[in-house]
Structure 1
């Protein structure tokens, strides 16, 4: 539940900040007539994201077990790729988000009527589609062994609600968020979560017969960590930990988490480039005597 809360909070906060920056800039530049276009774009993005989530949830139900597992595993791996891209993108883009969006507002305001709606839709829709796919994959992994289906959704909903509140406070000026620190820490945690989703995706493909080694277990600690206990549910919900893990699942987890985390930490620790010193004029006055 906490992992889904964090996904909803992080992705929702990114979208909420985008909307708050757009609205604040339009209001401050006395162009309130553009606000309906922004909200229309936001509404369209939310609608598309919900339809995408519904298609993921109900689409595969009429298929065979092997087909469902193959689709689930493929989409899980795809969601890991998308969330990894998002983590690295936000690590470098948080500081310049406001200036970039304000430039898009100025450009869109002078074009066609619905250009600004398109800016808002694309900015929010990207986060919405990524959230729907990653939440679906994480929820499917969490509930695969009979866990509650509503707890992950409640966690994600609470995260989105918190993000909306933080976005409103950000717009009102009551909260100053250190975006760099926020996205750095949550990015590192989401790499761990994504590693678990990847491992579960590999397990799905093993059950579908696409990948071998379903019965080749690296360890089985089910007698120590009972899957029905609260701490097993917690480990499953946050890290997608399975008491019975195959060799291929473990290899996939390590091969993803270790290098990704090292590259990510190296990137966020890298100092910002120093401003370039002004180049001296090539034409100088006569030397002082």
Structure 2
């Protein structure tokens, strides 16, 4: 549940920040009459994201067991790829997000109403589709259709509240640090999703080695115990993984987390110091 709360919070906060920046810019520049197209684009993005989640959930139930496992495993790996790209992108652009969105909004205003709708739709829709896909894979991994959704919903509600506080100017936090640490936690969650995706593909018969296990601690960590459920919900922990699951988990987590935490901050280069002028000659000195 915590892992899904984190997903909802992280993705929802990104979308909330985007919405706040777009709306605040229009209000401050005296263009309140252009708010309706922005809200229309946001509403369309939310509807599309919910529809995408519903198609994944109800469409997969019509498939055979092997097809369900193949679909779940494939989408889990795609979700891990999308989330990995997202956390690196947000870490790099968090400081410059406002200026980037202002530029896109100026261009959309010059092009007309449809461009405004499209700008808001794309800005929010990307986060919504990623959230729907990642939460769906989490629901499949835990075989629990309630707690993952509750956790994600609480995360999204928290994100909306934080977004409103940002807009009102009542909250000031270092977004670069926030997205760095939540991104690191999401990398850990994504490693568990990747491992379970490999398990699904093994059950579908696409990858061998399902019964080749390095260890089995089901006796010490029963799957139906409260701590087994907690580890499963947060980290997608499995007490009896296959060798390939363990290798995939470690091969993703160790280099990705190291690269993410050691990555340069991406701050803008400092401007060059002005040339010194020689008092005698009135020209720049060497």
Structure 1 counterpart of 2:228, from 232, 243, 246: 232
Distance 1:177 1:42 in 2: 25
1:14 aligns with 2:9: no
Q: Deviations over 1:183-227 (max 9, x none)?
A: 000000000100000000000000001000011011110011111
TM-score by length of 1: 0.94
Distance 1:287 1:27 in 2: 46
Residue 207 of structure 2 aligns to a residue in which SS?
coil
Residue 112 of structure 2 aligns to a residue in which SS?
coil
TM-score by length of 2: 0.95
1:157 aligns with 2:153: yes
- Residue equivalent to 2:201: 205
Q: Deviations over 1:97-137 (max 9, x none)?
A: 11111111111111122211111100000000000001111
Deviating above 6 A after TM superposition, structure 1's stretches of 4 or more consecutive aligned residues are none
Distance 2:151 2:283 in 1: 72
Change beyond 3 A, Cα 1:216–1:27: same
Distance 2:72 2:275 in 1: 60
Residue 249 of structure 2 aligns to a residue in which SS?
helix
- Residues 2 and 237 in structure 1, CA contact (< 8 A), matched pair in contact too: yes
- Residue equivalent to 1:113: 113
1:223 aligns with 2:249: no
Distance 1:68 1:15 in 2: 30
Distance 1:287 1:154 in 2: 66
Distance 1:116 1:271 in 2: 29
- Residue equivalent to 1:2: 2
- Residues 72 and 201 in structure 1, CA contact (< 8 A), matched pair in contact too: yes
- State the Cα distance separating 1:278 from its structure 2 match: 4.5
Which consecutive unaligned segments of at least 5 residues does structure 2 have? none
Aligned positions of 1:58-73 closer than 5 A: 58-73=58-73
- Residue equivalent to 2:248: 252
- Residue equivalent to 1:41: 41
1:187 aligns with 2:192: no
- Residues 76 and 137 in structure 1, CA contact (< 8 A), matched pair in contact too: yes
- Residue equivalent to 1:50: 50
Change beyond 3 A, Cα 1:37–1:212: same
Distance 1:212 1:103 in 2: 50
Distance 2:123 2:266 in 1: 27
- Residue equivalent to 1:171: 167
Which consecutive unaligned segments of at least 5 residues does structure 1 have? none
- Residues 12 and 163 in structure 1, CA contact (< 8 A), matched pair in contact too: yes
Q: For the aligned residues, what is the CA RMSD?
A: 1.8
- State the Cα distance separating 1:279 from its structure 2 match: 6.3
- Residues 4 and 138 in structure 2, CA contact (< 8 A), matched pair in contact too: yes
Residue 67 of structure 2 aligns to a residue in which SS?
helix
How many residue pairs match? The answer is 283
Q: Deviations over 1:159-194 (max 9, x none)?
A: 000000100010011111211111000000000100
Change beyond 3 A, Cα 1:129–1:271: closer
Aligned positions of 1:120-135 closer than 5 A: 120-135=120-135
Change beyond 3 A, Cα 1:72–1:287: closer
